[in-house]
Chains A and B, each alone.
Chain A
Amino acid sequence: MDLGEDVSSLFGKRSKTSSNSTVNRSRTKGTEEAPTVFNQKKCNAWFRQYSTPSSPDTIGPEGVEMFCRDLNVEPENIALLVLSWKMGAKQMGYFTLQEWLLGLTDLQCDSLAKLQAKLNYLHSLLLDSSHFKSIYRYAFDFSRDKDQRSLDIETAKAMLGLLLGRQWSLLNSFFQFLDQSRYRVLNKDQWCNVLEFSRAVDVDLKNYDVDGAWPVMLDEFVEWLKVNRGESNIQ
């Protein structure tokens, strides 16, 4: 499964342009800059490179795309999600000036070079369990349609792949389960519990507690999995 495609297509959807982006074009100088103290004005100006005159305080999807290219980072790279989280960005594909300043001030970056240097740091945040949980939860609100309470299932799968793809071996099974089920959306409670489930329940499902107040969807997943593995007698 090509997760990269899915996530980038989401960004693509938002921007209504097809993304044939390669990661080569760099708009700004590739020159190294001498390390300087964080300058808010500079950060501001940097923002304006990506916003449009018609909406000067918001970077839209095209701007975000350009930003990613300049940063030398694929839009589906999880670092971008972490960055958005740092900014508290409300909507995937958009950065407001406020969010931009908030996040980048925290990171002390006012230029591409500085930010590029911080990319590893952003990745490292994912290794901390409670940061990860926070980022994971944030991802739900970030990626959902703002006039819906729940997250549509395709987006959910893409985000889950991005976040849990490397650390939860049952993810693929879970996707198969969802495909054959009637679920078309995931609500917040289900979303959060998927993370808990991936952390708490073993691959062999032996420590799955039926009375564990898991959402019904996960109970069904376990049942389905057991049947599929030939471990269950229930038809």
Chain B
Amino acid sequence: MRIRAFPMTMDERYVENIWSLLKNAIQEIQKKNNSGLSFEELYRNAYTMVLHKHGERLYNGLREVVTHHLESKVRQDVLASLNNNFLQILNQAWNDHQTSMVMIRDILMYMDRVYVQQNNVDNVYNLGLIIFRDQVVRYGGIRDHLRHILLEMVVRERKGEVADKLSVRAACQMLMVLGIDSRAVYEEDFERPFLSQSAEFYRSESQRFLGENSASVYIKKVEARINEESERAKHYLDESTEQRIVAVVEEELIQKHMKTIVEMENSGVVHMLKCQKTDDLHCMYKLLGRVADGLRTMASCVSAHLREEGKALVNVDESGANALNFVQSLLDLKDRYDTFLGKSFVNDPIFKKMISSDFEYFLNLNLKSPEYLSLFIDDKLKKGVKGMTEQDIELVLDKTMVLFRFLQEKDIFERYYKQHLAKRLLLNKSVSDDSEKNMISKLKTECGCQFTSKLEGMFKDMSISNMLMEDFKNHIQTSGTSLYGVDLSVRVLTTGFWPTQSSATCTLPLAPRNAFEVFRRFYLAKHSGRQLTLQPALGSADLSAIFYGPRREESETKEKADGPSSSTPTSASANGPRKHIISVSTYQMCILMLFNTRDRLTYEDIMNETDVPKKDLDRALQSLAMGKPTQRVLVKSPKGKDILPSSIFAVNDSFTSKLHRVKIQTVAAKGESEPERKETRSKVDEDRKHEIEAAIVRIMKARKTMQHNLLVSEVTEQLKSRFLPSPVIIKKRIEGLIEREYLARTPEDRKVYTYVA
């Protein structure tokens, strides 16, 4: 068998024939008449042409035929249908084209593999796409009309009308495919105009919505639109459009109107906050979270409103101020906003931080906040807290600690806390040692040991005093010493631990005075070298009193209603002398004992004989003479609110009380009076001076030299857990230390200090 060499040359006629054959076939395919064609024959012919180096001719011929067909037939058909089923016709044309191109490609596959590769031209299928794109889809009238129709469909759908979604989808897919390896065709021919039309649309819609609706309704509508556009893009346009169209909606409906939405009268953020609309706030939060700065806009609106609310609570004037209400209202406010934080703002750190800084801001606007906080805690730690279980109290105290953290002047709080604790311990008012210690450990966690070590010292003094009294009682019994009829109980306080009291003394009545001397001798025998000073401001006394006068008149109705209750177990018959035990303060004891020898005394007399400081004397007399009828052990004349030097006091012979033991309440503690407050402030300022200087010296000793600004910021940093010193004050302290030669300026640079050893 002889293998014949393949004929390498072909004559022109032969080539022409092959080409005609192929051309015809292609045309038939395009006419959808492919059934009579032989795939094998056509493939072979194409193969032959390419093999004999006529690929170019084949390629160009292909291009011509396809172009011609699309130009003269397909395009015309499509143009004819412009106003009549345009999309369907176009889609049909597209499908037909794809089908035929697939077949054509199959026939010409050898050309694709060899000629196309070698010459880096578009492959058959892509070539077909390009021609279809340029000759049909992007042909002037068709291109415009296509865009127009697609956009109109969208408009209709947005209005809620029915539109031919499937055709739209098919058209969009076609455009995507026609981009070959990019989405450029889709983008230019459809998406871009679509997005800009949508922007227009939403621009006007936003005006309409805003004009008609409340914020919450607006938000829901926006969400609905976003969802709608999202769905549309996903299912009927191209998926990649979703992100872009949603961005357009967000821009037009949200971004551009953020402030308007947030600040809408009677329905915006402020309204939602006032009416506790946590869900609405949450919807707004989600919506605004979509755009840049949306949350910040919302947060600043919330913050402004919170600050206003806080300021209103905090700026109570002097007369109306009640520490307990003050703190409770702030706790309630915090609770409300914590709820918002959790439910509406999903614990977003932006909001969390902002709420904290707002609380810090307005809490410190009122300079009495530290005092009030201490009074509030004091109230919860005293006996007789009504309606709260231990757990309730624990919870409230934890919340109070949160407020405490916001205080800038913690050292002032410390001072008041010590005072109040001292009162609780000495007057035996603590509900329990455990709850006190619990509170102290909370403070320790916040403030460190320095704060709590003195408080713990106070507790120790109490227990030592108890033991001391035991010893003293034994001593009295065994030695038989007289205590002048006084049942004495002494608490010895170490000066450094307890809040400094004004060392005012008063003139004690003889019996207690002598009794105390007995104790003093006893104590100093045990601890020589110590000094004992009586603190009358902190003491209390129980006095046995007998009232000889007729009973106080009770109101008629009361007499009828509770007849039997008017007699007390140990009193004598209705008109006999009545015995009571009166619990009073030391000062009050001094006052009352005077009346054992005198019937009536003027204010001046009392002042001279007892030597009680005026402010305390006034308070004591008020409680004794001007309180509730069941407390009025003394009477004052003339009647009236004022205590004048000439006012006359006498025993209230008609004093009547249901109780055998009567506790005289001191006038309600509204906190300190102005002069007391000023004194506390100045003490605090003194202490601060020392603390600042100590900090400066500490830092300079360690660093030896330091630049001014650095030193100021270090000092501030070190002290910030106690209070916030201003840079001017720190500078003044530095100057003081320079003058006392602890520090000096370096000669080279006056802004740098050195430590002088």
Contacts and interface: CB of A to CB of B under 8 A. Distances in A.
Given A149-B739, A188-B739, A189-B738, A216 B732 contact: yes
A216 B709 contact: no
A44 interface: no
A187 B739 CA distance: 7
Interface of B, helix, strand, loop or mixed by DSSP? helix
B751 A215 contact: no
B750 interface: yes
B360 to A, nearest CB: 26
B731 A216 contact: yes
Interface in A130-163: 149-150
Contact of A212 (B728, B732, B739, B751): B751
Given A216-B728, A216-B732, A189 B739 contact: yes
Contact of A211 (B709, B738, B739): B709
B716 to A, nearest CB: 14
B745 interface: yes
B739 A216 contact: no
A196 B750 contact: yes
Contacts of B738: 187, 189
B616 interface: no
Given A189-B745, A193-B750, A196-B750, A213 B739 contact: no
Contacts of A189: 735, 738-739, 745
B708 interface: yes
A211 B708 contact: yes
Contacts of A190: 735
B623 to A, nearest CB: 44
Nearest to A193: B750
Interface residues of A, number: 15
Which among A150, A189, A192, A219 has the greatest number of chain B C-beta atoms within 10 A? A189
Contacts of A192: 745
A218 to B, nearest CB: 11
A154 to B, nearest CB: 20
A216 B751 CA distance: 13
A132 to B, nearest CB: 15
Contacts of B745: 189, 192, 213
A227 B728 CA distance: 19
Interface residues of B, number: 11
A226 B728 CA distance: 18
Interface in A163-221: 187-190, 192-193, 196, 211-213, 215-216, 219
A140 to B, nearest CB: 13
Contacts of B750: 193, 196, 213
A193 B751 CA distance: 11
A224 to B, nearest CB: 15
A212 to B, nearest CB: 6
Contacts of A216: 728, 731-732, 735
A190 B735 CA distance: 9
A213 B708 contact: yes
Interface string B723-736: 00000100110010
Nearest to B753: A213
B109 to A, nearest CB: 81
A213 B746 CA distance: 12
Contacts of B739: 149-150, 187-189
Given A189-B745, A193-B750, A196-B750, A215 B735 contact: yes
B751 A213 contact: yes
Nearest to B708: A213
Contacts of B708: 211-213
A152 to B, nearest CB: 15
Nearest to B728: A216
A62 to B, nearest CB: 35
Interface string B684-726: 0000000000000000000000001100000000000000000
Interface string B570-586: 00000000000000000
A16 to B, nearest CB: 31
A215 B743 CA distance: 14
A193 B750 CA distance: 8
Nearest to A211: B709
A193 B708 CA distance: 15
B149 to A, nearest CB: 66
Contacts of B732: 216
A234 to B, nearest CB: 13
A149 B739 CA distance: 8
B686 to A, nearest CB: 19
Nearest to B734: A213
Interface in A88-124: none
Nearest to A209: B751
B738 to A, nearest CB: 5
Contacts of B731: 213, 215-216, 219
A149 B740 CA distance: 9
A189 B709 CA distance: 18
A189 B735 CA distance: 8
A150 B740 CA distance: 11
Nearest to A197: B750
A187 B709 CA distance: 22
Nearest to B709: A211
Nearest to A188: B739
Contacts of A150: 739
A128 B738 CA distance: 28
A201 to B, nearest CB: 13
Nearest to B751: A213
Contacts of A196: 750
A187 B728 CA distance: 18
B193 to A, nearest CB: 56
A5 B367 CA distance: 52
A211 B711 CA distance: 12
A199 to B, nearest CB: 11
A80 B632 CA distance: 82
B359 to A, nearest CB: 29
A150 B739 CA distance: 9
A212 B749 CA distance: 11
A192 B745 CA distance: 10
A37 to B, nearest CB: 38
Nearest to B752: A213
Interface string A63-99: 0000000000000000000000000000000000000
Contacts of A188: 739
B429 to A, nearest CB: 46
Which among A193, A196, A211, A219 has the greatest number of chain B C-beta atoms within 10 A? A211
Nearest to B729: A216
Nearest to B745: A189
A187 B750 CA distance: 16
11 contacts: A149-B739, A187-B735, A187-B738, A187-B739, A190-B735, A212-B708, A213-B708, A213-B731, A213-B745, A213-B751, A216-B732
Given A189-B735, A212-B708, A219-B728, 12 more contacts: A150-B739, A189-B739, A193-B750, A212-B751, A213-B708, A213-B709, A213-B731, A213-B750, A215-B731, A215-B735, A216-B731, A216-B732
The 7 closest A-B pairs by CB, nearest first: A213-B708, A213-B751, A189-B738, A187-B739, A216-B732, A211-B709, A216-B731
